[in-house]
């Protein structure tokens, strides 16, 4: 079947009835994952903090955090996040969990600074999680974080995930930029070098690959675009040339396929997470009006799992990552309320597409980071 | 619960000299994992090893064990790599193991990353491209596998490695002409990795690529990857889209049952079974008209309108945006 030719979908008009979004079930799914994960998910051991962010973030977008979680528990969560802040010879930041922290005699812990070091992606998600929990950030080692970022940047402008590690790609560039923006301090980042790295990941299709010479992909294209628009710039300076901008808009919008969902690469099947990655990138570029929002939510509607949570595609199993990103996509592209107001359950907390959090949370962190 | 694959380290005499370190959890943790005893035991011994700093052959067994339980355990990979270097372990053995793990954990970043580190040490990429080809059989669009191939080619930049790339791509295209990863790889090989011996005549190379793309479009017109490639080739070489107007035009028309098969290598026509008109061709022709400006803008607008209303209604808003933009440009 042709990729372009779709079944004609009803175009947005005033009264569109959607079955209600299963908000309560999605909240329960997130809470269940926070309570505990089966051993079959052991591969998130080294990224548990990010998974926790997706769960808490879902509650934030659904605007049910205070209602579903009492203050005592929220304070315990905050304590857990702070416990993941770690300092060492390479500065400060957050580690994924205590997966490399040993239990010492008495109650103290034992960890090697070299193998229990902060991680760029975890630091970004920890800051957002603490902002969702409305922390006052009194415990934040701001100078340590700046030093940590500086230690992670490589010669080619990209960032390692950890100061001693060797993994690096476009995603970590975004996290470093988002952290710098949240701290309102860019001294840990050589912005020009990082921008040159981003530019080297651009492909002939108009998207960005994970590293230079890789195929254009929705997630990494989001991180590239968000980074370019987060970065400080002099007056009149544009993050992209007009031609680049149009080409990227074209590629992004061509990824909305006949299912209504977005795919991550040309010719692949639609996947719920790309509804966020491509949809948010278009919003940053000021062209969210080009998304067929109704077809998008209808696709995500079909991705809902009957016992809560949202999966990457219809009839797959849900996970916190796809649940969070789908909710964020719905929040950006809600179906019209209509005269009867039937679609109110689909209207969620407004999103800041640059930081990938609710606007209230993004505002909180900018106002409260000391 | 998964069946243990090995006896617990705590029951083994050979490990009695290692002080295991249980995982620390003081505050109520978020999203705790209900670890199996096997994983708990192995990671406790691993934390103990990291604390003592031991690097020995048995550390290789332990980290392999953990990696098999959790291939995303980046610290186990990191420590394994340092141990390999420290005890000067034979790296060909390590690569053999990686052959198995890469296929098993195809979608885990660390598996591929470790492979890169090992190859950087051995500086011997000879069997690497065949390995990639083999593992693409499991998943022909796997992102990590393709990036690995691109890394091998550019890192070693050896003319003997590059030489077979177009033939390799032919076999990939024979399986699936819509595989965008293969199209992307072709662009990388032909245009974005320098000019190699035998490819100095760039005009000839561009002609070859245009012929290749047109031919594949004629076999399967509704293939966005091929149309994106065509755009890419023209843009990269600063050729106007109008270079290929004669080729594109028949694809914007309804299927013509009267058409006779004619052999025109420069402008291969759509096959008789082709589903026409092809939306990607309509978009392409509209771009040509738009760049001509003036009277042609009207023709571009009609084409966009036909996409919005008939041929690509999912993206109605995008086509209407193109119309609005061109009218604005036209009036200033
Ligand atoms: Zn996904």
Q: Contact B229/A204, CB-based, under 8 Å?
A: yes
ipTM score over 0.90, yes or no: yes
Q: Contact B143/A214, CB-based, under 8 Å?
A: yes
Q: Kindly report the nearest CA distance between residue B185 and chain A, in angstroms.
A: 8
Which residue in B47, B109, B235 is closest to A100 by CB distance?
B47
Mean pLDDT of B29-54: 96
Mean pLDDT of B112-120: 97
**A211: closest chain B residue by CA:** B147
Q: A357 pairs with which residues across the strands? A: A352
pLDDT band at residue A11 under the 50/70/90 scheme: very low
- Whole-number Å distance between alpha carbons of A43 and A117: 19
Mean per-residue pLDDT over chain B, rounded? 95
Q: Are B172 and B179 in contact (CB under 8 A)?
A: yes
**How much is the pLDDT for A107?**
66
**How much is the pLDDT for A147?**
97
Condensed to tens digits (0 to 9), the pLDDT of residues B313-327 reads 999 999 999 999 998
pLDDT band at residue A370 under the 50/70/90 scheme: confident
Q: Contact A41/B232, CB-based, under 8 Å?
A: no
Residue A18 C-beta-side C-alpha neighbours within 13 Å: 29
Lowest mean pLDDT among A43-57, A130-144, A331-345, B65-79: A331-345
- Whole-number Å distance between alpha carbons of B129 and B162: 10
Q: What pTM, to 2 d.p., does this model score?
A: 0.95
Q: Kindly report the nearest CA distance between residue A104 and chain B, in angstroms.
A: 8
Chain A contacts in chain B segment 238-267 (CB below 8 A): none
Which residue in B31, B113, B315 is closest to A292 by CB distance?
B315
Give the whole-number percent of chain B exceeding pLDDT 90.
90
Q: What separation in Å is there between the alpha carbon of B291 and the centre of ligand 1?
A: 37
Lowest mean pLDDT among A156-165, A249-258, A323-332: A156-165
Give the whole-number percent of chain A exceeding pLDDT 70.
95
Q: Contact B180/A268, CB-based, under 8 Å?
A: yes
**Substitution target from B2, B30, B306 for chain A, most A beta carbons within 10 A:** B30
**How much is the pLDDT for A289?**
98
Closest CA to A256 of A2, A16, A4: A4
**B237: closest chain A residue by CA:** A204
Residue B219 touches chain A, beta carbons under 8 Å? no
Residue A1 has pLDDT above 70, yes or no: no
Q: Contact B27/A76, CB-based, under 8 Å?
A: yes
- Whole-number Å distance between alpha carbons of B184 and A226: 23
Lowest mean pLDDT among A305-319, B82-96, B114-128, B246-260: B246-260
Active site residue B6: no
Q: Contact B70/A45, CB-based, under 8 Å?
A: yes
Mean pLDDT of A81-90: 92
Q: Contact A42/B312, CB-based, under 8 Å?
A: no
Which residue in B79, B235, B314 is closest to A292 by CB distance?
B314
Question: Could you say which of B104, B107, B141, B324 is catalytic?
Answer: B107
Residue A241 touches chain B, beta carbons under 8 Å? no
Contacts of B86 (CB under 8 A, 6+ apart): B55
In the A/B pair of chains, how many CB contacts fall below 8 A? Answer: 224
**How much is the pLDDT for A114?**
79
**In this structure, what are the phi and psi dihedrals at residue A160, rounded to the nearest 5 degrees?**
-75, 155
Q: Are B69 and B38 in contact (CB under 8 A)?
A: yes
Residue A281 C-beta-side C-alpha neighbours within 13 Å: 33
Residue A96 has pLDDT above 70, yes or no: yes
Residue B147 has pLDDT above 60, yes or no: yes
**How much is the pLDDT for A106?**
67
**In this structure, what are the phi and psi dihedrals at residue A110, rounded to the nearest 5 degrees?**
-125, 125
Residue A298 has pLDDT above 90, yes or no: yes
Chain A contacts in chain B segment 46-105 (CB below 8 A): 47-48, 50-51, 69-75, 78-79
Residue A92 touches chain B, beta carbons under 8 Å? no
In this structure, the strands spanning A91-94 and A168-169 are: unpaired
Residue A70 touches chain B, beta carbons under 8 Å? no
Closest CA to B78 of B45, B114, B106, B49: B114
**How much is the pLDDT for A34?**
97
**Substitution target from B31, B115, B180, B316 for chain A, most A beta carbons within 10 A:** B31
Residue A9 has pLDDT above 60, yes or no: no
Which tokens sit at A228? 């370019």
User: Regarding predicted confidence, which is higher, A77 or A166?
Assistant: A77
**How much is the pLDDT for A15?**
58
pLDDT band at residue B191 under the 50/70/90 scheme: very high
**What Cα–Cα distance (Å) separates residue B222 from each residue in A247, A287, B281?**
20, 26, 9
Residue count of chain B? 332
Q: What separation in Å is there between the alpha carbon of A323 and the centre of ligand 1?
A: 10
**How much is the pLDDT for A2?**
36
Condensed to tens digits (0 to 9), the pLDDT of residues A28-45 reads 999 999 999 999 999 999
- Whole-number Å distance between alpha carbons of A132 and A256: 31
Q: Kindly report the nearest CA distance between residue B236 and chain A, in angstroms.
A: 8
Residue B292 touches chain A, beta carbons under 8 Å? no
Residue B162 has pLDDT above 90, yes or no: yes
Ligand 1 ion local residues (Cβ < 5 A): A 271, 273, 312
- Whole-number Å distance between alpha carbons of A12 and A22: 22
Domains and CATH numbers, chain A: 32-286+357-368 (1.50.10.20)
Longest dimension (CA), chain A: 67
**How much is the pLDDT for B332?**
57
pLDDT band at residue B330 under the 50/70/90 scheme: confident
Rounded to 5°, angle at Cα A275 from A273 and A276: 70
**How much is the pLDDT for A43?**
95
């Amino acid at each position: 079947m042709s990729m372009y030719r779709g079944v004609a979908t009803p175009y947005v008009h005033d009264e569109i009835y959607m079955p209600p979004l299963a908000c309560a079930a999605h909240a329960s799914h997130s809470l269940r994952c926070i309570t505990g994960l089966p051993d079959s998910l052991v591969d998130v051991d080294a990224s548990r903090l990010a998974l926790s962010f997706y769960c808490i973030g879902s509650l934030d977008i659904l605007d049910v955090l205070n209602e579903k979680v009492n203050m005592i528990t929220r304070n315990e969560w905050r304590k857990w996040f702070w416990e993941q802040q770690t300092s060492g010879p390479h500065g400060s930041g957050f580690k994924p969990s205590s997966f490399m922290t040993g239990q010492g005699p008495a109650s103290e812990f034992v960890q090697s600074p070299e193998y229990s070091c902060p991680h760029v992606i975890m630091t970004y998600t920890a800051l957002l999680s603490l902002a969702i929990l409305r922390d006052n950030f009194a415990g934040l080692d701001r100078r340590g974080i700046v030093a940590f970022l500086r230690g992670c940047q490589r010669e080619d402008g990209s960032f390692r995930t950890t100061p001693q590690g060797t993994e690096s790609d476009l995603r970590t560039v975004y996290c470093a930029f988002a952290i710098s923006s949240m701290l309102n301090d860019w001294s840990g980042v050589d912005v020009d070098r990082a921008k040159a790295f981003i530019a080297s990941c651009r492909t002939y299709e108009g998207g960005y690959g994970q590293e230079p010479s890789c195929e254009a992909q929705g997630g990494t294209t989001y991180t590239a675009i968000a980074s370019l628009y987060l970065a400080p710039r002099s007056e009149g300076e544009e993050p992209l040339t007009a031609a680049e901008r149009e080409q990227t808009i074209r590629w992004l919008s061509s990824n909305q396929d006949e299912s209504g969902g977005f795919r991550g690469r040309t010719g692949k099947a639609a996947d719920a997470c790309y509804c966020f990655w491509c949809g948010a990138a278009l919003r940053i570029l000021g062209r969210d009006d080009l998304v067929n929002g109704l077809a998008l939510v209808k696709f995500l509607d079909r991705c809902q799992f009957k016992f809560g949570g949202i999966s990457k595609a219809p009839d797959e199993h849900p996970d916190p990552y796809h649940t969070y990103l789908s909710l964020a996509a719905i929040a950006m592209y809600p179906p019209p309320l209509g005269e009867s107001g039937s679609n109110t359950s689909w209207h969620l907390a407004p999103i800041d597409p640059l930081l990938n959090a609710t606007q209230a949370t993004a505002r909180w962190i900018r106002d409260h980071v000391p | 619960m998964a069946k243990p694959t090995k006896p617990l380290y705590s029951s083994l005499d050979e490990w009695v000299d290692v002080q295991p370190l249980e995982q620390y959890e003081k505050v109520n943790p978020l999203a705790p994992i209900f670890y199996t005893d096997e994983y708990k035991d192995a990671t406790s011994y691993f934390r103990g090893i990291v604390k003592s700093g031991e690097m020995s052959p048995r550390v290789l067994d332990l980290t392999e064990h953990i990696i098999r339980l959790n291939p995303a355990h980046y610290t186990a990979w990191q420590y394994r790599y340092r141990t390999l270097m420290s005890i000067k372990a034979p790296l060909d053995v390590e690569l053999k193991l990686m052959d198995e793990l890469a296929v098993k954990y195809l979608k885990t970043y660390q598996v591929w990353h470790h492979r890169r580190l090992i190859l950087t040490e051995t500086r011997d990429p000879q069997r690497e491209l065949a390995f990639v080809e083999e593992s693409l059989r499991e998943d022909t669009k796997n992102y990590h596998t393709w990036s690995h191939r691109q890394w091998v080619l550019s890192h070693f930049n050896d003319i003997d490695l590059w030489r077979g790339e177009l033939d390799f791509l032919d076999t990939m295209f024979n399986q699936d002409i819509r595989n965008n990863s293969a199209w992307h790889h072709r662009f990388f090989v032909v245009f974005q990795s320098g000019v190699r011996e035998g490819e100095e005549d760039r005009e000839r190379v561009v002609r070859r690529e245009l012929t290749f793309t047109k031919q594949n479009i004629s076999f399967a017109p509704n293939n966005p990857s091929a149309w994106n490639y065509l755009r890419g080739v023209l843009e990269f070489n600063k050729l106007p889209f109008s270079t290929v107007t004669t080729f594109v035009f028949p694809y914007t028309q309804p299927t013509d049952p009267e058409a006779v098969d004619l052999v025109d290598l420069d402008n291969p026509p759509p096959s008789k079974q082709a589903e026409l008109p092809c939306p990607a061709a309509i978009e392409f022709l509209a771009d040509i008209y738009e760049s001509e400006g003036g009277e042609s803008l009207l023709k571009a607008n009609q084409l966009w309108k036909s996409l919005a209303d008939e041929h690509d209604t999912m993206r109605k808003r995008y086509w209407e945006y193109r119309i609005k933009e061109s009218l604005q440009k036209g009036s200033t």
